[in-house]
Amino acid sequence: MAYEPVIGKEESALKTPVAYENSSFIGGTHNLFVEQPMLENYYPGASVGYRKVRVASVAPSEAAKAGNTIDNTVAPVSEHEFYTPKDFPVLVDETDLSNDPAITRPVAFPYEFSAFRKKRERSQGYSIVLNDMAGKPKATAPYTRGNASYTKGENLLSKQEYIYHTEVPFSEKIANRLKNDLPVLTENGKFQTGRIGVSHEVFMEIHEDRSSSSAFGIDGNLEILNAPPAFGLAIVPIPYVADQELSSKTAITMKVIHKSGILKELRTTADKSLVVQNHIAYDALTGSPLLTSVTNEWEEPVYSANYTAHRYFYGKGDANQNNALQKENLQNQTKNH
């Protein structure tokens, strides 16, 4: 399953709390939490796929009348394996929340003037990496017919394995990551590392919350003089000014990365022979393999090179001139990486 449906996703194992505290000098400490996974709206929709499918032929009615049932037909059993989101899950990462201290400037003159300024800024970044590996073929193998359980008495006839570029060798026990920084072939026939099959979307969300208040007042002081021979009454006004300003700024950066799986090898096993088709270099624009090698029966590589149409028609028309601009941008991007 790629992800949980909208109804019932509260029971997903990815739903975990992240605790944090919100404290103040007067109000005390409040223990709060946010719920993972982050960037949940960008997760793939709910879908169900198969990891392994076995296809067996059913004997026709004429053969069944003759006693040839599904248990003893000679048609081979085909086994199809597919990659699933368990092999290549969605990857979410986040940076630590910036911990810059708030700028506080209190100023006070007793009974006359007070001012308080507090400014706080926070920033954080999130990223989510999506892929298209769910449902891609992993292996295909026909077996000879065994008994009704399709396991005992079966012999492997041939097998094809599809291996994609990953950062570390593929394993069913880890969260595999696709590798898209691969060797590409330039126009002058040289190899260089380029990033293919990757698209980025970047969003920034900036907020500012500011509040200010001012207060003015006059305090009166009554003085009574009762000393002979004089008597007097005096009222002394004392002005009072209070000013307060609070501001909070937040900056959040979200990056959505979509990676396409790039086929690395196609392994074909038949009897005791193994033929490996290896993709060595790719086209920077389309991602199609340009240089491949195939091992022969003596386990020696036989190389094959392809020539794409946009290379042949380079600079021969308006559309191709646009294509040339795209290639120039890709080459600049490759140099930056």
Question: What mean pLDDT do residues 142-168 have?
Answer: 77
- Tell whether the model's pLDDT for residue 330 goes beyond 60: no
- Tell whether the model's pLDDT for residue 328 goes beyond 70: no
**Which has the higher per-residue pLDDT, 255 or 23?**
255
Considering the chain, what percentage of its residues have pLDDT values greater than 90?
Answer: 30
Residue 160 within a domain: yes
Chain segment 246-277, per-residue pLDDT in tens: 898 999 999 999 999 999 999 998 877 888 99
Residue 28 within a domain: no
Q: What average pLDDT does the structure give for the chain?
A: 80
Residue 299 within a domain: yes
Residue 26 within a domain: no
| CA torsion through residues 131, 134, 136, 142, sign | positive
- Give the model's pLDDT for residue 319: 47
- Give the model's pLDDT for residue 149: 46
Residue 313 within a domain: no
Question: What mean pLDDT do residues 20-45 have?
Answer: 81
- Give the model's pLDDT for residue 236: 67
181, 197 Cβ separation under 8 angstroms: no
- Give the model's pLDDT for residue 320: 47
- Give the model's pLDDT for residue 148: 46
Q: How confident is the model at residue 323 (pLDDT cuts 50, 70, 90)?
A: low
**Which has the higher per-residue pLDDT, 10 or 170?**
170
Residue 228 within a domain: yes
- Give the model's pLDDT for residue 314: 58
Burial class (CB in 10 A: 0-12, 13-18, 19+), 25: exposed
| CA torsion through residues 35, 41, 43, 44, sign | positive
**Which has the higher per-residue pLDDT, 120 or 284?**
120
Chain segment 50-103, per-residue pLDDT in tens: 899 988 877 665 555 555 555 556 678 889 999 999 999 999 999 988 888 888
- Give the model's pLDDT for residue 60: 61
- Tell whether the model's pLDDT for residue 334 goes beyond 60: no
- CA dist 153 and 95 (Å) reads 54
- Give the model's pLDDT for residue 52: 93
Burial class (CB in 10 A: 0-12, 13-18, 19+), 261: buried
Token reading at 71: 């248990």
CA atoms within 13 A on the CB side of 308: 20
288, 307 Cβ separation under 8 angstroms: no
Nearest to 145 by CA among 73, 81, 80: 73
Question: What mean pLDDT do residues 293-321 have?
Answer: 72
Residue 88 within a domain: yes
Give the DSSP letter of residue 49: -
- Give the model's pLDDT for residue 318: 46
Give the DSSP letter of residue 129: E
- Give the model's pLDDT for residue 97: 86
Residue 157 within a domain: yes
Question: What's the whole-model pTM score?
Answer: 0.73
Nearest to 262 by CA among 129, 166, 333, 135: 166
- Tell whether the model's pLDDT for residue 204 goes beyond 90: yes
Tell me how many domains the chain contains.
1
293: domain range? 49-306
Question: What mean pLDDT do residues 219-238 have?
Answer: 66
Question: What mean pLDDT do residues 159-164 have?
Answer: 94
Chain segment 141-152, per-residue pLDDT in tens: 988 876 544 455
